[in-house]
């Protein structure tokens, strides 16, 4: 049995969001094909994702200096413990499905905050004398990204910093099996429904082998 983190980063619902509509089809088809796997839905807009603020940085600093967890302030304890729980959940999973829109050529800030939380030395990567190496080899990831224009290829490709960023982060973690489903060109009202239907059908097929 595999554990899948279904990570969504859109404040609306599947009826209003292209990325969530495709993600919903993917995860439903995945569950049908893999009924014994555990799927954990992490809605970034409902999760408590602490920012790297003064409490976090000071708390980590105190722990590195040799102080015990009990010697942290209440705010430091709460945030540091939450960060630890998030990254431990991430490391324990076998597969990751990210679902997000492209905003300003990149991912939503709440998803960026989540990647910050999961990029922890000793958890998802480690430093060596030859440089950092990832610790999550053998795992798989998929990114479903919706955008108004086409960015995966063509003249706007150089502006695409959503999937390309996430892809680099996942490779940094040691994950080599990374796929993408692009739901592109949705700003065209004449073609939006066709684009959505094709992406949903594609997602259903990808889910059977993911």
Sequence ranges of the binding site for FMN: 17-19, 102-105
| Beta-bridge partner residues of 43 | 8
203, 144 contact by CB (below 8 A) = yes
**At 49, phi and psi to the nearest 5?**
-110, 100
Pick out the residues of the known binding site.
Answer: 17-19, 102-105
80, 63 contact by CB (below 8 A) = yes
3-state secondary structure the chain: CCEEEEEECCCCCCCCCHHHHHHHHHHHHHHHHCCCCEEEEEECCCCCCCCCCHHHHHHHHHHHCCCCHHHCCHHHHHHHHHHHHHHHHHHHCCEEEEEEECECCECCHHHHHHHHHHCCECCCEEEECCEEEECCCCCEEEEEEEECCCCCCCCCHHHCCCHHHHHHHHHHCCCCEEEEEEEECCCCCCCHHHHHHHHHHHHHHHHHHC
């Amino acid at each position: 049995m595999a554990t899948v983190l279904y990570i969504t980063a859109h404040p609306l619902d599947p009826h209003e969001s292209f990325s969530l509509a495709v993600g919903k089809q993917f995860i439903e088809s995945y569950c049908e094909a893999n009924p014994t796997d555990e799927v954990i839905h992490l809605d970034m807009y409902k999760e408590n994702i602490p920012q790297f603020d003064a409490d976090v940085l000071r708390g980590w600093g105190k722990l590195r200096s040799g102080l015990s967890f009990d010697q942290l302030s209440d705010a430091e304890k709460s945030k540091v413990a939450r960060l630890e729980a998030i990254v431990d959940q991430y490391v324990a999973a076998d597969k990751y499905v990210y679902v997000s829109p492209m905003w300003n050529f990149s991912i939503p800030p709440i998803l960026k905050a989540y990647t910050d939380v999961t990029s922890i030395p000793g958890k998802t990567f480690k430093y060596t004398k030859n440089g950092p190496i990832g610790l999550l080899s053998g795992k798989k990831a998929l990114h479903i990204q919706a955008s108004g224009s086409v960015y995966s290829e063509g003249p706007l490709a150089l502006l695409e910093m959503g999937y390309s960023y996430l892809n680099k982060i996942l490779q940094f973690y040691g994950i080599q099996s990374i796929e993408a489903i692009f739901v592109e060109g949705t700003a065209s009202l004449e073609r939006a429904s066709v684009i959505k239907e094709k992406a949903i059908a594609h997602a259903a097929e990808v889910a059977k082998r993911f």
